């Protein structure tokens, strides 16, 4: 497995480290993916005034709780970056990364309660196109949360082994993006009824 | 050096199957793309035989029933665009050339590179599997409009439709990942001294194409997820009965679909630029113009998409807008063609096979481009939409892009990839047996389209106006020309395979070109350069006055 | 790495505090049940929150400018996409058409009266899909 890192990876003609540049482009591509779903949703939601009835069933308190959880987890992520980069403290950084992961898991647990409740009351994907969008948009977002949490855990372990310190910032950037998507999903799915 | 030891210990698995070396991965993409082209080519042979000789058993396939016909045309289109043009032009040439041309030892993320190929390979396998499942391969056209594509009671290929969609989605993911690699590598890993305007045009084009792809594919990925849910759970994103809208799919598809054609065009133009500068011994006439018009084309390509939907019931006010923008986009591309012609003017032209293909690209693409004007104007498009005129137009653009430019690139860089030269005589036979039949296939199709022959019909004998002998003869001409064109590829394959092992040995720079890849050995070893080069000048310093040699390599002080 | 910035942890905690305040506003806004107020508090606040996360947590305020331009371009693409399709997908009527879903049509012979082939499709809908009744020479 021992891949010798190519010299190419260490060069930086732009001044931005390679890994970070890649994450910026990754986020750019994700903006248009989520954008596609959300623009379609916004237009159809506006068109279908009768979806207000369906939308009334979303739980703004659980949605709000999840918003709080993600905002706080973003704080933990940036603190992890601070401790890694400014204080060179892998132990503290790792702790904050794990706290972020806890935030992610909390988000998923809350969401699973929310969705279970909704499904049991008959608000399933096939009930109305509103719910189709609801589950699709939140579902794609949820997959990104899961992926982010997994990678974050791996990085938290790696920095305790003394390697890949730069990745703390990178996963943090990804995580903040996931947070920003939710910042827009929350009003779209829960508040704008 | 630990990398050298590592190299010695490498098994066949590590060296060729699970390699992380950009050159090997590039070749993997190349060979997969060529294999898929054979499949796509076989499909076109079958359905063109059906069109020319309806109802007769096609040698090598049997009789073609209507459902099979739909599957053949759908998968021909999908394969040629997603599994041939994109992997060969972007992933194969991009992977092989970019690190070499910017003077570094690999892509910045070698393992991600390998992963993107693996995902791509899985997507190709899934597509092939879709041909063998119950119901057969998807037959709803490469554009996959719902409700045909969403409801299995309409398309009659429940498994095929979903597998096709999955294959396309995975291919998109593979190219998103690969694109990040290319963009980051070009931005960051250039040789010391290589400024922005010293980068060879083909590298710029591949990276701009990757950026265009990245910016445009998002909505379609979203749409693919929605269509998948429609197929499996009948959610109704595109079903008016459930509150959705089929035109939404069209917009999601074409918002990507139009930039996509420039995603494949730009790398092809980049390859042509490299070939013509080398074999005209002349600088590119206006490097910055080419670069900025390529970028402008890319930007403008986002504003034209609904010209595919003029007759779909879009708002006519939008149709006005899209007509204007579509006609505008022909300007930057024409500009690039003018620059290429100006590059040739006064040059010392050497007609190698690569150069012949590059010149043919210019001539054939020109025809494709001007016929697009008729389609971009919404008035005339009302007549031409969904006729063979459209088909002939896009083959006059796509075949130069995916086939002619690819051959130009293959003949040009074959010595670098293999360390040997291809046979020029066989190359010229291949060239003429490709180009001449190509025109005999598609000029009849322009005429057929203008006569009202609509697309995606399995047997024109059912339409009295179109079944007349004059038109049927044209169909036969096109099919016979296709057979010749297919036979004409035999010299190429023979040449390629035999020359790889037994061709005349090539040194590092057989064409006396100036760009950095020619400074590496042929073929380059792992790590590419014994000593990574510096860059001292632009990429096309040919025939510089006052110098002995007619080329001045970028890495020579 | 994000260079010459020496924000201590307090800076980030303060930003988090601002985010929570904004979040509270967005939740309280709808209670008044005034539509325009809800929209401003919900979406306006979302934009401001996103700004704070992007600028301060992602350090985009000190990142190279062209990265910000790249993101702005992606967002503009989405705006372009919205603009290009809203006249079609978002409108109930155009200058010459009205959009009614087939399921909403009450009387036959009205606007969306089924044309001949639509009827055929409906009928073949009822046959099972094991026998594709495509008489190729039929139409």
**Residue B56: count of CB within 10 angstroms of its CB:** 11
B195 interface with A at CB cutoff 8 Å: no
**Residue A132: count of CB within 10 angstroms of its CB:** 26
Closest-CA residue of A relative to B238 is A129
Condensed to tens digits (0 to 9), the pLDDT of residues B34-62 reads: 999 999 999 999 999 999 999 999 999 99
Q: Count Cα neighbours of B13 within 13 Å in the Cβ-side half-sphere.
A: 1
Structure tokens belonging to residue C125: 């809908």
Say whether C139 and B462 touch across the interface (CB within 8 A).
yes
Structure tokens belonging to residue A164: 């890949």
Cite the DSSP H helix spans in B350-467: 353-376, 378-384, 388-399, 405-418, 424-450
Whether residue C47 contacts residue B270, with contact meaning beta carbons closer than 8 Å, is answered with: no
The set of chains that have 3 or more CB pairs under 8 A with B is A, C
Say whether C137 and B153 touch across the interface (CB within 8 A).
no
Say whether B216 and A32 touch across the interface (CB within 8 A).
yes
Instruction: Label residue C5 by pLDDT band (50, 70, 90).
Output: low
Whether residue B147 contacts residue B246, with contact meaning beta carbons closer than 8 Å, is answered with: yes
Q: Helix B316-344 and helix B353-376: axis angle, to 10°?
A: 160
Q: How far is B222 from chain A (nearest CA, A)?
A: 5
Q: How far is C53 from chain B (nearest CA, A)?
A: 23
Cite the DSSP H helix spans in chain A: 7-10, 18-47, 51-55, 60-85, 90-120, 129-160, 167-186
Condensed to tens digits (0 to 9), the pLDDT of residues B288-331 reads: 999 999 999 999 999 999 999 999 888 888 899 999 999 999 99
In the predicted model, what is the mean pLDDT of chain B? 94
**Residue C102: count of CB within 10 angstroms of its CB:** 11
Candidate from B242-246, B295-299, B481-485 with smallest mean pLDDT:
B242-246
Please compute the mean of the pLDDT values over residues A2-18 and round it to a whole number: 85
In the predicted model, what is the mean pLDDT of chain A? 93
Whether residue B282 contacts residue B543, with contact meaning beta carbons closer than 8 Å, is answered with: yes
Whether the pLDDT of residue B8 is over 70: the answer is: no
pLDDT at residue B15, rounded to an integer: 81
pLDDT at residue C133, rounded to an integer: 38
Instruction: Label residue B9 by pLDDT band (50, 70, 90).
Output: low
Condensed to tens digits (0 to 9), the pLDDT of residues A57-74 reads: 999 999 999 999 999 999
Structure tokens belonging to residue B112: 């991600």
Instruction: Label residue C93 by pLDDT band (50, 70, 90).
Output: confident
Say whether A71 and C20 touch across the interface (CB within 8 A).
yes
Whether residue B250 contacts residue B149, with contact meaning beta carbons closer than 8 Å, is answered with: no
For residue B153, the chain C residues in CB contact (below 8 A) are 125, 129
Q: Residue B542's beta-bridge partner residues?
A: B551
C46 interface with A at CB cutoff 8 Å: yes
Backbone angles phi, psi at C90, to 5 degrees: -100, 0
Whether the pLDDT of residue C132 is over 50: the answer is: no
Task: Map A137-181 to HEC letters.
Answer: HHHHHHHHHHHHHHHHHHHHHHHHCCCCCCHHHHHHHHHHHHHHH
CB contact residues (below 8 A), chain C span 77-116, against chain A: 77-78, 81-82, 85-86, 89-92
Please compute the mean of the pLDDT values over residues A103-122 and round it to a whole number: 96
pLDDT at residue C98, rounded to an integer: 78
Whether the pLDDT of residue B235 is over 70: the answer is: yes
pLDDT at residue C12, rounded to an integer: 94
What are the angstrom distances between the C-alpha of A55 and each of A67, A111, B71, C30? 18, 16, 41, 14
Residue B387, classed as helix, strand or coil, is strand
Please compute the mean of the pLDDT values over residues B338-344 and round it to a whole number: 96
Asked whether the CA dihedral A91, A97, A100, A101 is positive or negative, the reply is negative
pLDDT at residue C101, rounded to an integer: 67
pLDDT at residue A2, rounded to an integer: 52
* Listed residue (B532, B28, B114) closest to A1, CA to CA: B114
* Listed residue (B79, B73, B74, B49) closest to B61, CA to CA: B49
**Residue B126: count of CB within 10 angstroms of its CB:** 18
Please compute the mean of the pLDDT values over residues B244-271 and round it to a whole number: 96
Instruction: Label residue C103 by pLDDT band (50, 70, 90).
Output: low
The answer, yes or no, to whether ipTM is higher than 0.90 is yes
d(CA B34, CA B441) in angstroms, rounded, equals: 21
Listing DSSP states for C88-136 in one string gives HHS-SB-SS-B---GGG--STTSTT---HHHHHHHHHHHS-TTS----T
pLDDT at residue C88, rounded to an integer: 85
Residue B231, classed as helix, strand or coil, is helix
Mutating which of C97, C98, C136, C138 best tests the B interface, going by the most B Cβ atoms within 10 A? C136
In the predicted model, what is the mean pLDDT of chain C? 75
In a domain, B287, yes or no: no
Q: How far is B428 from chain A (nearest CA, A)?
A: 38
Whether the pLDDT of residue B209 is over 70: the answer is: yes
Whether residue B444 contacts residue B480, with contact meaning beta carbons closer than 8 Å, is answered with: no
Whether residue B104 contacts residue B532, with contact meaning beta carbons closer than 8 Å, is answered with: yes
Backbone angles phi, psi at B505, to 5 degrees: -65, 140
For residue B65, the chain C residues in CB contact (below 8 A) are 136
pLDDT at residue A49, rounded to an integer: 85
In a domain, B254, yes or no: no
- In the block, which residue shows the tokens 């939008």? B318
C120 interface with A at CB cutoff 8 Å: no
Instruction: Label residue C96 by pLDDT band (50, 70, 90).
Output: confident
Closest-CA residue of B relative to A17 is B188
Structure tokens belonging to residue A154: 């791996």
d(CA C12, CA C19) in angstroms, rounded, equals: 10
pLDDT at residue C33, rounded to an integer: 80
Please compute the mean of the pLDDT values over residues B425-438 and round it to a whole number: 98
Q: How far is B248 from chain C (nearest CA, A)?
A: 6
Question: Element (H or E) spanning B6, and its range?
Answer: helix B2-8
Please compute the mean of the pLDDT values over residues B171-195 and round it to a whole number: 95
% of chain A with per-residue pLDDT over 90: 82
Mutating which of B214, B220, B240 best tests the A interface, going by the most A Cβ atoms within 10 A? B214
- In the block, which residue shows the tokens 């992926």? A147
Nearest to C90 among A15, A47, A75 (CB): A47
Say whether B156 and C132 touch across the interface (CB within 8 A).
yes
Please compute the mean of the pLDDT values over residues B87-104 and round it to a whole number: 96
Please compute the mean of the pLDDT values over residues C95-118 and round it to a whole number: 54
- In the block, which residue shows the tokens 């809208």? B245
pLDDT at residue B401, rounded to an integer: 97
Q: How far is A150 from chain B (nearest CA, A)?
A: 18
Closest-CA residue of B relative to A21 is B184
% of chain C with per-residue pLDDT over 70: 68
- Please say which residue of B459, B476, B501 terminates a domain: B501
Say whether A15 and C64 touch across the interface (CB within 8 A).
yes
Whether the pLDDT of residue C130 is over 80: the answer is: no
Nearest to C129 among B66, B153, B255 (CB): B153
Structure tokens belonging to residue B527: 């790590």
For residue B235, the chain A residues in CB contact (below 8 A) are 125-126, 129, 132, 136
Whether residue B542 contacts residue B282, with contact meaning beta carbons closer than 8 Å, is answered with: yes
% of chain B with per-residue pLDDT over 90: 93
Nearest to B109 among A11, A22, A37 (CB): A22
For residue A17, the chain C residues in CB contact (below 8 A) are 1
d(CA A47, CA B517) in angstroms, rounded, equals: 56
- Please say which residue of B482, B501, B520 terminates a domain: B501
What are the angstrom distances between the C-alpha of B132 and each of B61, B167, B419, C129? 14, 14, 40, 18
- In the block, which residue shows the tokens 């006055």? B545
CB contact residues (below 8 A), chain B span 60-119, against chain A: 99, 104-111
Closest-CA residue of B relative to A33 is B218
Whether the pLDDT of residue A193 is over 90: the answer is: no
For residue B156, the chain C residues in CB contact (below 8 A) are 129, 132
Asked whether the CA dihedral B211, B213, B219, B224 is positive or negative, the reply is negative
Say whether B303 and C80 touch across the interface (CB within 8 A).
yes
Please compute the mean of the pLDDT values over residues C118-133 and round it to a whole number: 38
In a domain, B224, yes or no: no
Domains (ranges, CATH) in chain A?
18-191 (1.20.120.80)
Candidate from A109-123, B11-25, C49-63 with smallest mean pLDDT:
B11-25
C3 interface with B at CB cutoff 8 Å: no
For residue C70, the chain A residues in CB contact (below 8 A) are 24-25, 28
Say whether B153 and C125 touch across the interface (CB within 8 A).
yes
* Listed residue (C31, B244, C23, C36) closest to A187, CA to CA: C23
Say whether C82 and A43 touch across the interface (CB within 8 A).
yes
Whether the pLDDT of residue B538 is over 50: the answer is: yes
Closest-CA residue of C relative to B246 is C89
Residue B423 is classified by DSSP as P
In a domain, B507, yes or no: no
Cis omega before residue B523 (within 30°)? yes
- Please say which residue of B501, B521, B549 terminates a domain: B501
Instruction: Label residue C134 by pLDDT band (50, 70, 90).
Output: very low
> How many domains is chain B built from?
2
Condensed to tens digits (0 to 9), the pLDDT of residues B484-532 reads: 999 999 999 999 999 999 999 999 999 999 999 999 999 999 999 999 9
C130 interface with B at CB cutoff 8 Å: no
Whether the pLDDT of residue C55 is over 90: the answer is: yes
Condensed to tens digits (0 to 9), the pLDDT of residues B370-393 reads: 999 999 999 999 999 999 999 999
% of chain B with per-residue pLDDT over 70: 98
Whether residue B3 contacts residue B527, with contact meaning beta carbons closer than 8 Å, is answered with: yes
Whether the pLDDT of residue B350 is over 80: the answer is: yes
Residues 6+ apart with CB under 8 A from A32: B214, B215, B216, B217, B218, B219, C74, C77, C78
Whether residue B276 contacts residue B340, with contact meaning beta carbons closer than 8 Å, is answered with: yes
pLDDT at residue B2, rounded to an integer: 40
Q: For residues C100 and B195, which has the higher predicted lDDT (pLDDT)?
A: B195
pLDDT at residue C129, rounded to an integer: 39
> Which residues constitute the domain of residue B480?
352-501
Geometric angle at alpha carbon C90, from C70 and B228, rounded to 5°: 70
pLDDT at residue C137, rounded to an integer: 36
Say whether C136 and B458 touch across the interface (CB within 8 A).
yes
In a domain, B451, yes or no: yes
Rg value, chain B, Cα: 23
Whether the pLDDT of residue B335 is over 90: the answer is: yes
pLDDT at residue C120, rounded to an integer: 33
In a domain, B81, yes or no: yes
pLDDT at residue C125, rounded to an integer: 40
Backbone angles phi, psi at A121, to 5 degrees: -95, 15
Asked whether the CA dihedral B405, B411, B414, B415 is positive or negative, the reply is negative
In a domain, B241, yes or no: no
In a domain, B316, yes or no: no
Residue B454 is classified by DSSP as B
Mutating which of A33, A35, A39, A44 best tests the C interface, going by the most C Cβ atoms within 10 A? A39
Instruction: Label residue A83 by pLDDT band (50, 70, 90).
Output: very high
What are the angstrom distances between the C-alpha of B528 and each of A6, A7, A62, B190? 11, 11, 56, 14
Q: Residue B505's beta-bridge partner residues?
A: B420
């Amino acid at each position: 497995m021992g891949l010798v890192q190519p010299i190419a990876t260490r060069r930086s003609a732009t001044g931005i480290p390679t890994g970070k540049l890649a994450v910026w482009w990754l986020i750019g591509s994700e903006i248009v993916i989520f954008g596609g779903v959300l623009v379609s949703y916004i237009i159809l939601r506006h068109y279908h005034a009768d979806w207000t009835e369906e939308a009334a069933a979303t739980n703004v308190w659980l949605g709000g709780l999840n918003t709080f959880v993600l905002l706080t987890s973003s704080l933990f992520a940036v603190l992890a970056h601070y401790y890694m980069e400014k204080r060179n403290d892998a132990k503290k950084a790792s702790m904050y990364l794990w706290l972020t992961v806890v935030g992610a898991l909390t988000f998923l647990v809350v969401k699973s309660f929310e969705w279970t409740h909704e499904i049991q009351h008959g608000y399933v994907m096939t009930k109305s196109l509103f719910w189709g969008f609801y589950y699709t948009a939140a579902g794609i977002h949820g997959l990104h949360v899961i992926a982010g949490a997994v990678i974050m855990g791996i990085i938290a372990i790696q920095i305790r082994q003394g390697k890949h310190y730069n990745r703390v910032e990178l996963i943090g950037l990804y995580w903040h993006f996931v947070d920003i998507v939710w910042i827009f999903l929350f009003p779209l799915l829960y508040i704008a009824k | 050096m630990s990398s050298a030891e590592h190299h010695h210990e490498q098994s066949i698995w590590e060296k060729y199957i699970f390699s992380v070396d950009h050159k090997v991965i590039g070749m993997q993409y190349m060979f997969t793309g060529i294999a898929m082209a054979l499949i796509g080519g076989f499909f076109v042979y079958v359905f063109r035989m059906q069109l020319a000789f309806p109802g007769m058993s096609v040698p090598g396939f049997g009789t073609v029933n209507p459902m099979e016909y739909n599957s053949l045309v759908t998968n021909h289109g999908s394969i040629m665009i997603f599994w041939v043009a994109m992997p060969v032009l972007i992933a194969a040439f991009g992977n092989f050339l970019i690190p070499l041309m910017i003077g570094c030892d690999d892509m910045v993320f070698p393992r991600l590179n390998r992963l993107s190929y693996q995902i791509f390979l899985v997507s190709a396998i899934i597509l092939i599997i879709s041909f063998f499942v119950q119901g057969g391969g998807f037959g709803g056209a490469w554009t996959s409009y719902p409700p045909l594509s969403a409801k299995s009671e309409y398309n009659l290929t429940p498994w095929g439709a979903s597998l096709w969609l999955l294959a396309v989605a995975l291919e998109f993911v593979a190219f998103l990942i690969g694109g990040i690699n290319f963009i980051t590598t070009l931005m960051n890993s250039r040789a010391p001294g290589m400024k922005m305007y010293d980068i060879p045009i083909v590298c710029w084009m591949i990276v701009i194409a990757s950026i265009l792809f990245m910016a445009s594919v998002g909505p379609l990925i979203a749409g693919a997820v929605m269509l998948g849910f429609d197929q499996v759970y009948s959610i109704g994103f595109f079903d008016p009965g459930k509150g959705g809208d089929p035109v939404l799919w069209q917009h999601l598809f074409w918002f990507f679909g139009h930039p996509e054609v420039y995603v494949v065009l730009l790398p092809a133009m980049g390859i042509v630029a490299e070939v013509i500068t080398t074999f005209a011994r002349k600088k590119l006439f206006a490097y910055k113009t080419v670069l900025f018009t390529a970028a402008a084309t890319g930007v403008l390509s986002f504003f034209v998409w609904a010209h595919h939907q003029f007759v779909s019931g879009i708002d006519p006010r939008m149709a006005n807008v899209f007509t204007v923008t579509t006609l505008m986009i022909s300007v930057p591309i024409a500009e690039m063609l003018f620059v290429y012609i100006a590059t040739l003017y006064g040059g010392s032209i050497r007609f190698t096979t690569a150069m012949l293909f590059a010149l043919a690209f210019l001539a054939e693409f020109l025809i494709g481009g001007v016929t697009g004007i008729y389609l971009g104007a919404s008035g005339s498009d009302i007549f031409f939409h969904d006729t063979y005129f459209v088909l002939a137009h896009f083959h006059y653009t796509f075949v130069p892009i995916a086939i002619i430019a690819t051959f130009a690139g293959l003949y040009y860089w074959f010595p670098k990839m293999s360390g040997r030269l291809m046979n020029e005589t066989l190359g010229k036979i291949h060239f003429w047996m490709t180009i001449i039949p190509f025109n005999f296939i598609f000029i009849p199709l322009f005429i057929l389209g203008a006569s009202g022959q609509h697309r995606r019909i399995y047997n024109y004998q059912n339409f009295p106006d179109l079944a007349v002998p004059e038109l049927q003869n044209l169909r036969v001409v096109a099919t016979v020309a296709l057979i010749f064109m297919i036979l004409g590829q035999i010299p190429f394959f023979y040449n390629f395979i035999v020359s790889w092992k037994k061709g005349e040995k090539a040194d590092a720079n057989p064409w006396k070109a100036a760009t950095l890849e020619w400074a590496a050995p042929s073929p380059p070893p792992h790590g590419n350069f014994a000593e990574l080069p510096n860059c001292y000048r632009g990429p096309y310093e040919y025939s510089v006055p006052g110098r002995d040699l007619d080329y001045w390599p970028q890495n020579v002080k | 790495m994000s260079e010459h910035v020496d924000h201590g942890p307090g800076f980030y905690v303060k930003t988090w505090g601002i985010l929570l305040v904004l979040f509270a506003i967005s939740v309280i806004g709808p209670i008044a049940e005034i539509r325009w107020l809800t929209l401003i508090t919900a979406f306006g606040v979302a934009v401001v929150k996103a700004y704070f996360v992007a600028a301060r947590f992602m350090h985009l305020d000190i990142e190279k400018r062209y990265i910000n331009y790249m993101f702005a371009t992606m967002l503009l693409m989405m705006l372009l996409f919205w603009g290009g399709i809203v006249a079609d997908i978002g409108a109930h009527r155009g200058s010459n058409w009205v959009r009614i879903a087939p399921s909403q049509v009450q009387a036959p012979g009205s606007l969306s009266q089924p044309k001949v082939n639509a009827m055929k499709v409906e009928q073949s809908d009822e046959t099972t899909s094991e026998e594709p009744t495509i008489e190729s020479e039929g139409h």
